[in-house]
Amino acid sequence: MGIILLAVAPLARIFSVELNVVISSRADDVRAAQQLGSLMFLPFGAIYLLSELNFIPLNVINCS
């Protein structure tokens, strides 16, 4: 858990900021950039929702 909190979480934040910069440079207006940037979080939300509903069990066997 410490590795996730100290390494992966900051890298994911940096990646999301960089990806939002790329999206906003390609979009025509602010509203389109915001909508395209919000699409980036759908896979993460889906994984979280599926793990909470136990469709994807996150335990030691699956995480190793």
How distant, in Å, are the alpha carbons of 5, 7, 15, 41 from that of 18? Answer: 20, 17, 5, 14
pTM, two decimal places = 0.56
What does pLDDT average to in each consecutive run of 10 residues of the chain (64 residues)? 79 87 90 87 87 82 64
Give the separation between CA 25 and CA 55, rounded to whole angstroms: 37
Q: Can you give the pLDDT at residue 53? A: 92
Q: How many whole angstroms separate alpha carbon 48 and alpha carbon 53?
A: 9
Euclidean distance between CA atoms 45 and 19, whole angstroms: 17
Q: What is the pLDDT of residue 62?
A: 62
